[in-house]
Amino acid sequence: MSGNKCVTPITEEDLLKLRKFWQAMSNAMPSSFFELGTAKIDYLTVAYNRYNDSLFQDSVLERKIANAVMGLEALFLKSTEVQELVYRLNLRTAKLLGSLGYDPREVKEMVSDAYRVRNIFAHGGHLGYKEKRKIESKYKDAKKLL
């Protein structure tokens, strides 16, 4: 016992499952996700790095949301696409998450809101009082949008 939490030891069966899981994941995961100094940069690595930055970088909320949206852009937009980006991103994200049981309309709305924050930040701005209040009234806390 450690404090009030019960600590369960890892069993041999757990080790076998963990080894099997890691073997499957290491074959599926790009080496650029876990090897330092990897020169390979592709859309998956960019998306993964942006996702990590959005969660773990100690930064302002706007930068975190911008990084999350840029991760989605790396996954769902082609580098040659320059028009109707938010429309394409909304549609593709909603299609994928809709197939996983999320409401596609809600996904589109959230992506649009996050994209608006990304644009504000990318163009040198920050969320003003009205915009922040609008997000907070919609999501209860701006961090929920992130």
Q: Does residue 47 belong to any structural domain of this protein?
A: yes
The parent domain of residue 101 ranges over 41-145
Partnered with residue 5 across adjacent β-strands are 2
| pLDDT (tens digit per residue) in 9-21 | 888 898 899 898 8
Question: What pTM was computed for the model?
Answer: 0.64
Q: Are 126 and 62 in contact (CB under 8 A)?
A: yes
CA 99-81-64 angle, to 5 degrees, is 65
Q: Does residue 23 belong to any structural domain of this protein?
A: no
Q: Does residue 32 belong to any structural domain of this protein?
A: no
| pLDDT (tens digit per residue) in 30-74 | 766 766 666 667 888 888 889 989 989 888 999 999 999 999 998
Q: Does residue 85 belong to any structural domain of this protein?
A: yes
Domain count of the fold of the chain = 1
Q: Does residue 8 belong to any structural domain of this protein?
A: no
Q: Does residue 20 belong to any structural domain of this protein?
A: no
CA distance 53 to 49: 6
The mean predicted confidence, pLDDT, of the chain is 86
Q: Does residue 112 belong to any structural domain of this protein?
A: yes
Q: Does residue 9 belong to any structural domain of this protein?
A: no
